[in-house]
């Protein structure tokens, strides 16, 4: 069982969700982890990766060919 206040465990879970392309669940886990550990650098890094992936996924889903700058 996931320890609710364990930021590292939540970030690991977020990575699993990310790898399954479940970006909303990954984002939620990271945000919860950051609530318990607000200075967690890996959490912020992973959150940025998730936001980038969500934007790319959204663009591909909509058929957009716009490049990200």
Write out residues in the chain with pLDDT < 50, as ranges.
68-69
- What confidence score (pLDDT) does residue 3 get? 77
- What confidence score (pLDDT) does residue 69 get? 46
* Interatomic CA distance for residues 69 and 59, integer angstroms: 13
- What confidence score (pLDDT) does residue 56 get? 83
- What confidence score (pLDDT) does residue 64 get? 57
- Its pTM stands at 0.79
* Interatomic CA distance for residues 20 and 31, integer angstroms: 18
Question: What DSSP line would sit under the chain, residue for residue?
Answer: ---TT-HHHHHHHHHHHHHTT-HHHHHHHHHHHHHHSTT-HHHHHHHHHHHHHHHHHHHHHTT--PPP-
């Amino acid at each position: 069982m996931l320890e609710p206040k364990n930021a590292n465990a939540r970030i690991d879970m977020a990575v699993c969700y990310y790898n399954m392309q479940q970006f909303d669940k990954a984002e939620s886990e990271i945000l919860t982890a950051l609530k318990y550990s607000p200075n967690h650098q890996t959490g912020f890094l992973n959150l940025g990766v998730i936001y980038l992936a969500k934007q790319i996924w959204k663009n591909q889903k909509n058929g957009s060919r716009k490049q990200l700058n």
